[in-house]
Structure 1
Amino acid sequence: MPLPLSRRRITIRVPLRQIPRIPARALVAALLAVAFVAQAAAALRPHIPLLLAATTASLAAEGVLYRWQRGMLSVFAKSHADITVRHVLRDLLLVVALLRLGEQDRETAYAPLVAALLVFYALHCAIQAVSVLVRRTRTLPVVTRNIDASTLRLSPAPPVLLRRPGDRLPAFGLPATAGLLATAATDDPRCAALGLALSLGLALLGLYDLLVRLLPSRRPAGEREVLAWLDAWLAEYRPTVGLYFSGTKDSVYQANMWLEPIAALDGRPLIVLRERFMVPKIAATDIPVLCLPKVSTLMRLEQSTLQVLIHPSNSGKTSQVLRIPTIRHTFVNHGESDKLSSCNPYAKAYDEVWVAGAAARERYALAEVGVEDKDVVEVGRPQLEAVRPYAGPPTGAYTTVLYAPTWEGWDGNPGNTSVIEAGANLVRALLADPGVRVLYKPHPLTGSVDARAGEADLRIRELIRAANRERTGPRPPAGDELANRTKELDRLTTTAMRASADQVERMLLQSAPEPGRAEAVARATAAWEEAYWASLPEWEHQVVTDARPALYDCFNRADLLISDVSSVISDFLASEKPYAVANTSGLAEDVFRKAFPTVRAGTVLTPDAAGVPELLDAVRHPEKDELVQARAELKRHLLGPDEPTSQVRFNEAVQTLCSAAREHQVRMAERLAVEIPGQRQDDDAETASRLTGRSSG
């Protein structure tokens, strides 16, 4: 007989994947809300055990917020429930609980404690107001690096607790809260008095520390004094050529790739930035760095000896510096490819456009974006001197293949990146060959526009991790070589400073570099690269996402490159090694090759990666490689001749443009010398005529 429905045991199995996960931030917010509700209920009853538990829970939730869920702080602030409101509410509920416990005359006994608590919050507000004043005095109109600016009375930053109310109030107010809580548990007012005394003492010390920093002898130089110092430094240093850059944190690589070529130029180089956050992002260099956020400060370059500014990218703030008539401007781009973005119409705003070779000149002519051929100068790619030439087929047990796809771009073109449609197939085909070692180096912006690219990138990384788990082989002996090389390189390229250091403190610490530091960094970098690759098993696949090793170092380790239509191909051609391009554009191969000239000396791979085995065979057996001569010809077409070197041509172009700038300045000075006296004579004649007319009238 079947059991009644009410007595049946029904088991429902729900897969864990189908159980919705509650975000951690939602749990923390819910815990905080429940803790405050429970604390309010305990204060009104009153109920001491519940009060203790609820207050402790709310403090613990605050700690979790600041330690692991800092993103929620802005959400609370937008809801007008920031740390100050929460802390005041917590202490207020404790005071209510104290007043409702015991006799009716407790208000008189606890009045001094309440007054002390109010004084503490008044001091907190005073500290916040003074900290704003201190921050304003430490926000200079100029931010420097590699420049001795000690005459500006630079000093270390105040402690972070005094600058951030979210960190200060929990730290300074915790003794008071703990004292009130202890008094509620023991009914001993001395606990609250002790806690409040500690909080008041901390607040007074913090306020004193900030007030001292506002004294004329302790605060940094004012705006007028800083600008006078800037003019004096420019007159003393006498810069001739500069690198101008403005952008986002993710785009700083566009400037970093030009640091070494700029440093090797004849003359006095300078780096001009516009965003304050960009100063520490610039890679290690001995070139003086000036950050000029305001346009009015930027215009002071007009009175300097600066003659040429080199622009590796376009930005909204580029037009501001183009207004300076005494400086010649040239656009060098941060890489060259066959994409339309390499021929931006904005390029016609510059005096000259410097390209690597004849291919880019032809590209501008075909694009018809307003750049005249006479303004295009071929200078090569001076960065590529670090790329070693082809030395023959693989000699070891493994063929190293570098897969370096570009990112998805802004226009949604499916041919921009192969990661989405072909990335996993390409990597699977490579991993299927036991004699292949894969180096996967995705573009740093992968997934920033199209989430599918980010998901595909994660799948590729998982494929590589899975392949490494199935592979075995000898590993290099453990040692301290890489750690020592890393420590030495970090010592040379970074400045030891507190994490809480502000811009003024960084200016103080990152002063003029020691002589010979650039050469020491170059030697340390080369030693680190050798130690890095020696520390890895030769059979192990690698995912390279850090700044080290650099892309060009990966070029030197690779026997073959697989990439997309991007500047990576043009740069890799400097080695004349075999390369392949993934065609995810939907175009037929012949149309694809015609549309993108950089492809014509490489193997075209379809999204299914069917041609990978034949490609690997040609790499291992050069007699089967039919594109050797084509790569040599394409290299000359894209990058120019080997002699003179690219750095020499780059330097000659800079000197030629500097001469043009000086000639323009001379002509303008002569014209002003002629026009200004004439204007004065006309003005004098007009004034005399008016005076004569008045006297005769």
Structure 2
Amino acid sequence: MKLLVLGVLAAAFTAQAVGALLPHVPLLLAATAGSLAAEAVLYRWQRGMVSLFAKSHADVTVRHVLRDLLLVVGLLRLGEQHRETVYAPLVAALLAFYGLHWAIQAVSVLVRHTRTLPVVTRNIDASALRLSPAPPLLLRRPGHRLAAFGLPATAGLLATAAADAPVYGAAGLALSLAMALAGLGALLLRLLPERRPAGEQEVLDWFDAWLAEYRPTVGLYFSGGASSAYQANMWLEPLARLEGRPVIVLRERFMVQRIAATDIPVVCLPKVSTLMRLEHSTLRVLLHPSNSGKTSQVLRIPTIKHAFVNHGESDKLSSCNPYAKAYDEVWVAGPAARERYALAEVGVEDKDVVEIGRPQLEAVRPYAGPPAPGAFTTVLYAPTWEGWDGHPGNTSVVEAGENLVRALLADPRVRLLYKPHPLTGSVDPRAGAADLRIRELVRAANRERGGPRPGVSAAGELTRRTTELDRLTAAGFRSAADQAERMLRRPAPEPGRAGAVTRAAAAWEEAYWASLPEWEHQVITDARPPLYACFNRADLLISDVSSVISDFLASGKPYAVANTSGLAEDGFRKSFPTVAAATVLTPDAAGVPDLLDAVRHPERDDLSEARAALALRLLGPAEPPSQERFAGAVRALCAAAGEHRARMAERLATDLALPGPRQQPDPLPAGSHGGPPAGA
């Protein structure tokens, strides 16, 4: 399809050039119409090619100018020489239209600059910043604007070429000019002082006032790519259940929309100078679910204590990264992680390791027995991604994935839930290709299996629950909304919304599973249903060495790990303690039938006691609950931060009270608000 669109566009422009130079009116008209049709197909069904054309310096503006230029050449070559005088005003009007188009683009850049605030927020009343709805999307996207505003001019020139009547071209150009002038005027009005949002300093003053009024105590700090938002989202619920006044601190503007539904105030501080304003706030503790290049910037704030909570624990090297020693404390689930850091010798002292459990796992329901006789055995295959180091044992997708899926699909009493990691294929193309083949295997198995489907009422219930959940978790933004408009539409949430979202999410999950046939295998890639909801439906997990198996242990259900490391089973178990209570599967998936038999007949499951012991080592004790231990760790670190501030204030007061000349500290760099210099 992509090659077809590309071929049609190239052929259309070539034919248009031939028709203009001959001149040949029918060919010119047909080629221009074909070019416009190809543009419509391009924007409707082949969006990926739009960026490809842009990278090749053949974006929509260039194509539109070329199309109109060839039309003008064709008009000027039609008939006698005196026609040039007749068509000259049309050419001048067309040039004026393009001049207006570029003027609109310049003004739209200025408008966008005034609407790009130094702080982006969610769940905070920002009405004091004089925010307003964004300009229409058509006025902010030059390609769409030129195509829409220029269409009457192009159509008029086509009619002029067909009928040899300049009046059609004049009418089309007049309409295009009127639309362009109206768009330019609408944008210029937004540059008036009373129509602009608050300026940078005014926004910063407003943010400082909000910090002073809200008085945050603990925050979640996150920076990362679009696909990594799940790492922060898994900590939203535990954070929301803390006492005090939590806040979420982000660094990338796009991430504001990636954070899942929450009532916690969200602030995005893209610039380091703005981030440093937190130094003088009441914020005492920041929790870090991941490491990123920008983490070092916030660690410079001396008044805040920092705890690394990670987004999951496994036996992989990423779970004991040397970067962890940069934090004041490292919070882990259980004693196994403490031992992991000690053995890794990465500079994390044992006194700085705090065991808090995994508060997220309260959503995981415990083992309730094997599947009922005659019922399907639900198997969750949730492999991890290939990682950055290229180790073949990171993911089973490449070497074992297809074999595992074929072995599972061969059992008529198995229902497979395939949930690949969101980053699968992002480093190794082989993993992405294997993932696509696995999905096709699942689709083919569903076509062969077949069976009755839930009635219309089940689908209707899912639609109703989806609408309700979307209403509570999304603000219903129009496609043209920008960040400033979203700030305006997302004030402080109403009391009780968090509970309503929890109930709506639970109702949606029930409706989701009820809407699916019990016999049908599923490929689950959307954010809904979440991983823990899949845990609750599964009788068995098959995964890789990753945090998925650590979390699954909270259920007490059987699990298996695919060994694609090249190690013998004994060495594999010794190298990865999380595999101690697992059934180890070889890449050929030969052990799948025996594994399924043990799941269906618990008396043949000789690993149940080992799973309970491993869960205690990995996740810590069940009492006190993990949320209580998490809250206790937050209180203790907040207290330590308060004591540190008190000591620093006492030292400062003592220094100021000493008589005599004192050496003045070096002045801070412009825009700094304290903390050690960059690179310290």
TM-score scaled by length of structure 2: 0.94
| TM alignment of 1:283-432, pairs within 5 A | 283-396=260-373, 397-432=375-410
Distance, in Å, in 2 between the alignment partners of 1:457 and 1:75 is: 25
Distance, in Å, in 2 between the alignment partners of 1:680 and 1:126 is: 63
User: Which residue identity lines up with residue 404 of structure 2 in the other structure?
Assistant: L
Distance, in Å, in 1 between the alignment partners of 2:181 and 2:282 is: 50
User: Which residue identity lines up with residue 507 of structure 1 in the other structure?
Assistant: M
- The C-alpha deviation readout for 1:224-243, integer Å capped at 9, x for no partner, is 00000000011111100000
Q: What's the offset of the Cα at 1:96?
A: 3.0
Q: What's the offset of the Cα at 1:633?
A: 1.1
Given the superposition, is the C-alpha separation of residues 393 and 99 from structure 1 closer, same or farther in structure 2, using an over 3 Å criterion? Answer: closer
User: Which residue identity lines up with residue 569 of structure 2 in the other structure?
Assistant: E
Give the corresponding residue for 2:604. 624
Out of 139, 144, 147, the position equivalent to 2:116 is 139
SS in 2 for 1:156: coil
Distance, in Å, in 1 between the alignment partners of 2:595 and 2:34 is: 63
SS in 1 for 2:541: strand
SS in 2 for 1:217: helix
Q: Does 1:97 align with 2:71?
A: no
Give the corresponding residue for 2:675. none
Distance, in Å, in 1 between the alignment partners of 2:55 and 2:626 is: 54
Distance, in Å, in 2 between the alignment partners of 1:223 and 1:389 is: 52
Distance, in Å, in 1 between the alignment partners of 2:5 and 2:522 is: 38
Q: Does 1:530 align with 2:510?
A: yes
Give the corresponding residue for 2:213. 236
Q: What's the offset of the Cα at 1:586?
A: 1.4
Given the superposition, is the C-alpha separation of residues 667 and 386 from structure 1 closer, same or farther in structure 2, using an over 3 Å criterion? Answer: same
| TM alignment of 1:512-591, pairs within 5 A | 512-591=492-571
Distance, in Å, in 2 between the alignment partners of 1:455 and 1:102 is: 58
Point out the more displaced range, 640-649 or 502-511.
502-511
Given the superposition, is the C-alpha separation of residues 416 and 679 from structure 1 closer, same or farther in structure 2, using an over 3 Å criterion? Answer: farther
Distance, in Å, in 2 between the alignment partners of 1:612 and 1:371 is: 40
Point out the more displaced range, 61-70 or 624-633.
61-70
Point out the more displaced range, 496-505 or 67-76.
67-76
Give the corresponding residue for 1:604. 584
Distance, in Å, in 2 between the alignment partners of 1:165 and 1:115 is: 21
Q: What's the offset of the Cα at 1:590?
A: 1.4
Out of 411, 415, 418, the position equivalent to 1:437 is 415
Distance, in Å, in 1 between the alignment partners of 2:623 and 2:454 is: 41
Q: Does 1:167 align with 2:144?
A: yes
SS in 2 for 1:242: strand
Q: Does 1:259 align with 2:236?
A: yes
Point out the more displaced range, 549-558 or 302-311.
549-558
Give the corresponding residue for 2:628. 648
Give the corresponding residue for 1:190. 167
Q: What's the offset of the Cα at 1:26?
A: 4.1
Give the corresponding residue for 2:252. 275
Distance, in Å, in 2 between the alignment partners of 1:31 and 1:65 is: 11
User: Which residue identity lines up with residue 540 of structure 1 in the other structure?
Assistant: E
User: Which residue identity lines up with residue 468 of structure 1 in the other structure?
Assistant: N
Distance, in Å, in 2 between the alignment partners of 1:538 and 1:522 is: 25
Q: What's the offset of the Cα at 1:205?
A: 0.5
SS in 1 for 2:13: helix
Q: Point out where structure 1 has 5 or more consecutive residues left out of the alignment.
A: 1-23, 685-697
Distance, in Å, in 2 between the alignment partners of 1:364 and 1:122 is: 64
Q: What's the offset of the Cα at 1:334?
A: 0.4
Distance, in Å, in 1 between the alignment partners of 2:558 and 2:55 is: 56
Given the superposition, is the C-alpha separation of residues 439 and 179 from structure 1 closer, same or farther in structure 2, using an over 3 Å criterion? Answer: same
Q: What's the offset of the Cα at 1:529?
A: 1.1
Runs of 4 or more, structure 1, over 6 Å off, are none
Distance, in Å, in 2 between the alignment partners of 1:474 and 1:43 is: 61
Distance, in Å, in 2 between the alignment partners of 1:251 and 1:679 is: 54
Q: What's the offset of the Cα at 1:594?
A: 1.2
Give the corresponding residue for 1:50. 27
| Structure showing greater Rg | 1
Distance, in Å, in 1 between the alignment partners of 2:55 and 2:600 is: 61
Distance, in Å, in 2 between the alignment partners of 1:655 and 1:98 is: 78
Q: What's the offset of the Cα at 1:76?
A: 3.8
Give the corresponding residue for 2:470. 490
- The C-alpha deviation readout for 1:360-392, integer Å capped at 9, x for no partner, is 000000000000000000000000001111122
Q: What's the offset of the Cα at 1:615?
A: 1.9
Q: CA RMSD in A?
A: 1.7
SS in 2 for 1:285: coil
Given the superposition, is the C-alpha separation of residues 613 and 91 from structure 1 closer, same or farther in structure 2, using an over 3 Å criterion? Answer: closer
Distance, in Å, in 2 between the alignment partners of 1:682 and 1:244 is: 38
Q: Does 1:155 align with 2:132?
A: yes
- The C-alpha deviation readout for 1:191-228, integer Å capped at 9, x for no partner, is 11111110111011000100011111111111000000
Q: What's the offset of the Cα at 1:420?
A: 1.6
Q: What's the offset of the Cα at 1:679?
A: 7.5
Given the superposition, is the C-alpha separation of residues 199 and 391 from structure 1 closer, same or farther in structure 2, using an over 3 Å criterion? Answer: same
Distance, in Å, in 2 between the alignment partners of 1:621 and 1:105 is: 95
Given the superposition, is the C-alpha separation of residues 258 and 104 from structure 1 closer, same or farther in structure 2, using an over 3 Å criterion? Answer: same
SS in 1 for 2:542: strand
User: Which residue identity lines up with residue 438 of structure 2 in the other structure?
Assistant: I
User: Which residue identity lines up with residue 299 of structure 2 in the other structure?
Assistant: L
- The C-alpha deviation readout for 1:578-634, integer Å capped at 9, x for no partner, is 111111111111111111111111211222222222222222222222222211111
- The C-alpha deviation readout for 1:12-46, integer Å capped at 9, x for no partner, is xxxxxxxxxxxx44443443333333333333332
Given the superposition, is the C-alpha separation of residues 213 and 414 from structure 1 closer, same or farther in structure 2, using an over 3 Å criterion? Answer: same
Out of 386, 401, 425, the position equivalent to 1:447 is 425
Point out the more displaced range, 472-481 or 266-275.
472-481
Distance, in Å, in 1 between the alignment partners of 2:60 and 2:74 is: 21
Given the superposition, is the C-alpha separation of residues 471 and 231 from structure 1 closer, same or farther in structure 2, using an over 3 Å criterion? Answer: same
Q: What's the offset of the Cα at 1:683?
A: 7.1
Distance, in Å, in 2 between the alignment partners of 1:389 and 1:459 is: 33
Q: What's the offset of the Cα at 1:472?
A: 4.2
Q: What's the offset of the Cα at 1:175?
A: 0.9
- The C-alpha deviation readout for 1:312-367, integer Å capped at 9, x for no partner, is 00000000000000000000110000111100000000000000000000000000
- The C-alpha deviation readout for 1:472-521, integer Å capped at 9, x for no partner, is 44433331111111111111111111112111111111221121111001
Q: What's the offset of the Cα at 1:180?
A: 1.6
User: Paired residues, what number?
Assistant: 661
User: Which residue identity lines up with residue 466 of structure 2 in the other structure?
Assistant: T
User: Which residue identity lines up with residue 187 of structure 1 in the other structure?
Assistant: D
TM-score scaled by length of structure 1: 0.92
Given the superposition, is the C-alpha separation of residues 364 and 193 from structure 1 closer, same or farther in structure 2, using an over 3 Å criterion? Answer: same
- The C-alpha deviation readout for 1:428-453, integer Å capped at 9, x for no partner, is 22222222222221111111111222
Give the corresponding residue for 2:453. 475
Give the corresponding residue for 1:500. 480
Point out the more displaced range, 159-168 or 317-326.
159-168
